[in-house]
Amino acid sequence: MAFLSGLSAFPITPADRDGRVDTVALRRLIARLGAAQVDSIGLLGSTGTYIFLSREERRRALAETLEETAGRMPVVVGVGALRTDEAVRLAQDAKALGAAAGLLAAASYTPLTDDEVFEHFSTVARESGLPIIVYDNPGTTHFHFTPALVNRLAKVGGIVAIKNPTNKSDAIKSHLADQRRTLPEGFSIGYSGDWNAAEAMIAGADTWYSVLAGILPEACMMIVRAAQQGDAAEARRIDATLSPLWSLFQEFSSLRVVYALAELLDICRAEPPRPILPLPAAAKDRVAAALECLPSDASR
């Protein structure tokens, strides 16, 4: 699908300790992404702490986001849940409200088999009618999609894209080539893992699903546009200016760092949902120092 290309920006979902979404703060975040003209918004991803929110709050967050964007850019929304029937209902909600696609992870307490994941995804796609993006996120789900499983899922009607993890930058090019060779034409192939995403885009990936873009979209947009224009040197140059943040992402998790950035940028003063704790003061000071070192065009 054409809208699954370029930069997909994933913001946090500000909420109180009872899990009620702060829609004023959320709309402020979404407005920043609209002003930066990101290619799509990834609402309620892992950074958006979808798994911690009720169905009602997810609907509210999506409705507010769609009202704020007013059709100017597509909104992809997380529809993952532990139970298949719950994921179906969430995907149906998303379709009814007007989301462009659903992002579905293999979330489970009990380890899943490939056949179980195949049935889960197939059922959600079939019963919701919402285009589904396969979310391969073994860092949180502890389930990794094998090439064979991805190929099976790509043949299912309504499953239209994959969001791959990135671990080693030097393996991205061959991984992408393998998926291009085996997946159907038009099946969108994207990557997350911000510190390796520049290399993914240079290699020819369709989409960068970005955590940092949810709070600092301009710098990420510059990387994507440079890569799309074939200017690998410029994409790498800009990416290098963000290396202090990439290091903090890897040390403390991108989720905790982005919450600190939202506060430092005076966008909102939200905390991640418990039991996740905000960064301690010393770590926040390091985030502030990294922010101050960014070039002016990368820190807006």
pLDDT tens digits for 221-269? Answer: 999 999 999 999 999 999 999 999 999 999 999 999 999 999 999 999 9
Distance CA 257, CA 43 (A): 18
pLDDT for 8: 98
β-pair partners for 128: none
Catalytic, out of 50, 163, 191, 209: 163
At 1, the pLDDT band (50, 70, 90 cuts) reads: low
Is the pLDDT score of 169 beyond 90? no
pLDDT of 298 above 80: no
User: Residue 79 half-sphere exposure, CB side, CA atoms within 13 Å?
Assistant: 35
- Contact 221/38 with Cβ under 8 angstroms? yes
Rounded CA separation 190/198 (Å):
12
Give the C-alpha separation, 124 to 89, whole Å: 9
Catalytic residue among 50, 95, 135, 191: 135
Q: Which two tokens stand for residue 212?
A: 């940092």
Binding annotation = 47
Q: Which of 48, 45, 46, 8 is nearest to 26 (CA)?
A: 48
| Side-chain half-sphere exposure of 130, counting CA atoms within 13 A | 31
| Contact predicate 242/258, CB 8 Å | no
pLDDT computed for residue 300 by the predictor: 62
Tokens of 279: 């960064």
In the chain, % of residues over pLDDT 90: 95
Q: What is the mean pLDDT of residues 35-49?
A: 98
What pLDDT, on a 0 to 100 scale, did the predictor assign at position 299?
61
The domains located in the chain, with CATH, are: 6-229 (3.20.20.70)
Catalytic residue check, 163: yes
The pair of three-digit structure tokens given for residue 197, joined into one six-digit string: 């995403």
Respond yes or no: is residue 284 known to be catalytic: no
Q: What pTM was estimated for this model as a whole? A: 0.96
Annotated binding site for pyruvate: 47
> CA geometry: angle at 166 spanning 226 and 106, to 5°?
125
